[in-house]
């Protein structure tokens, strides 16, 4: 869980009601004083443009140490990518060697016994970053991107699901209007942001991660 480690700055205004009672309105909070001052100026401009009036405005510094804060940008799936090297022997499936990248730097690697498809999905858990991966075409694993070690793995089973696209919901996906990627199909999304159809194996792949809540493509 992300926590504040410094004060936050809330922009406030005091106004009088028709009953002559003093009330306080908050326009929002910002991490830095400079950002709060910019919000203060913008708030005053909007109130005056609307013909409103407040008794006074100020910036309240709040000790937010230990309180929750939104996770940092960029989202893990935007920061961590892969470099894939494919190989194919006559009469055999294509296999791949995968390097996990932070920018241009390789931080972990693994081999997969099938084509890559969309089987790499980074996600955060507290102050660590993991990734859902698939080293075997009918199993899903969890890799710790800090250590490069696989920390949880599903056992391949005959008749098991073939993960073709992996997805872990991020806080910012919910609160910034981000559509869910069409990980299972590579195709269009519905108006709800969910994949229009299931994966080529007939079902979306699922996996349990160290905290037990991460998932792959959402159900239809």
pLDDT in tens, 15-65: 988 777 889 999 988 888 999 999 999 999 999 999 998 999 999 998 877
Is pLDDT at 158 greater than 90 in this prediction? no
Q: Give the mean pLDDT of 105-129.
A: 95
Q: What is the pLDDT of residue 194?
A: 38
Q: What is the pLDDT of residue 190?
A: 35
- Average pLDDT taken over every residue of the chain: 80
Q: What is the pLDDT of residue 177?
A: 59
With a CB cutoff of 8 Å and minimum separation 6, the contacts of 50 are none
Q: What is the pLDDT of residue 85?
A: 97
Give the CA count within 13 Å in the CB-facing half-sphere of 18.
Answer: 0
Q: What is the pLDDT of residue 94?
A: 96
Q: Give the mean pLDDT of 76-80.
A: 95
Torsion angle (degrees, nearest 10) of CA 122, 128, 134, 138: -110
Sort strands 8-16 and 149-153 into parallel, antiparallel or unpaired: unpaired
Q: Which two tokens stand for residue 194?
A: 């969910």
Q: What is the pLDDT of residue 92?
A: 93
List C-alpha distances in Å: 115 to 85, 102, 112, 160. Answer: 10, 22, 7, 17
Q: What is the pLDDT of residue 4?
A: 52
Is pLDDT at 119 greater than 60 in this prediction? yes
Q: How many Å apart are CA 154 and CA 138, to the nearest integer?
A: 9
Q: Kindly state the DSSP code that residue 148 receives in the 8-state scheme.
A: T
- 207 pLDDT tier (thresholds 50, 70, 90): very low
């Amino acid at each position: 869980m992300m926590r504040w480690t410094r004060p936050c700055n809330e922009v406030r205004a005091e106004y009088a009601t028709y009953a002559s009672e003093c009330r306080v309105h908050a326009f929002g909070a910002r991490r830095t004083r400079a950002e709060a001052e910019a919000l203060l100026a913008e708030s005053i401009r909007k109130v005056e443009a609307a013909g409103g009036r407040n008794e006074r405005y100020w910036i309240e510094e709040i000790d937010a140490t230990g309180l929750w804060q939104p996770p940092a940008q960029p989202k893990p799936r935007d920061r961590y990518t892969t470099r894939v090297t494919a190989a194919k022997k006559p009469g055999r499936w294509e296999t791949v060697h995968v390097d996990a990248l932070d920018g241009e730097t390789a931080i972990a690697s693994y081999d997969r016994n099938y084509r890559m498809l969309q089987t790499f999905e980074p996600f955060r858990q507290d102050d660590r970053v993991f990734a859902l991966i698939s080293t075997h075409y009918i199993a899903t694993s969890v890799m710790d991107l800090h250590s490069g070690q696989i920390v949880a793995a599903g056992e391949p089973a005959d008749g098991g699901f073939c993960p073709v696209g992996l997805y872990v919901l991020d806080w910012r996906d919910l609160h910034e209007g981000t559509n869910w990627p069409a990980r299972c199909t590579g195709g269009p999304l519905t108006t709800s942001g969910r994949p229009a159809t299931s994966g080529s194996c007939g079902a979306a792949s699922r996996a349990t991660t160290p905290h037990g809540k991460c998932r792959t493509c959402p159900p239809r």
